[in-house]
Amino acid sequence: METRNVYETDDEVQALALQEALEAEGITAVLVNHRDTAYPGITDRQRHGTEIRVEADQVEDAKRLIEEFLAAKPVEGPPVAPPPDRGPAAGLRGPGWLVITLIFLGLLGISVYLLNGK
């Protein structure tokens, strides 16, 4: 069956998300990555994005679903989590700082011992 291009993006993650959304609605979607060099002659070297193709009889439904998907989920970037709560001991994590402190104190003690002439 013949396929048609319904959307093209430079963001491969967005293309995968759209493919998954289309397939969840029963529309078979194929991604054509024009940057892929594994299949010479199949992809268009003048283009650099990822193309989403669907069967010719599903083009209208696919375009509608893509528009709804993009309207519901803007693609400005990943969500940013708030910074973790930093308490008074924010720089102190686990017993590692204690071990390092004891090693430095031991080295300091050895240095003082050697400098004082035994």
Strand order of the β-sheet with 50-55 is: 3-9, 50-55, 29-33
Q: What is the pLDDT of residue 11?
A: 85
Q: What is the pLDDT of residue 27?
A: 92
Mean pLDDT by 10 residues, the chain (118 residues): 86 89 92 70 62 91 90 64 59 71 92 84
Q: What is the pLDDT of residue 32?
A: 84
**Where do the domains of the chain lie?**
3-72
- Note if the pTM is more than 0.75: no
Q: What CATH class does 3-72 carry?
A: alpha beta
Q: What is the pLDDT of residue 99?
A: 85
Instruction: Give the separation between CA 86 and CA 81, rounded to whole angstroms.
Output: 14
Q: What is the pLDDT of residue 3?
A: 87
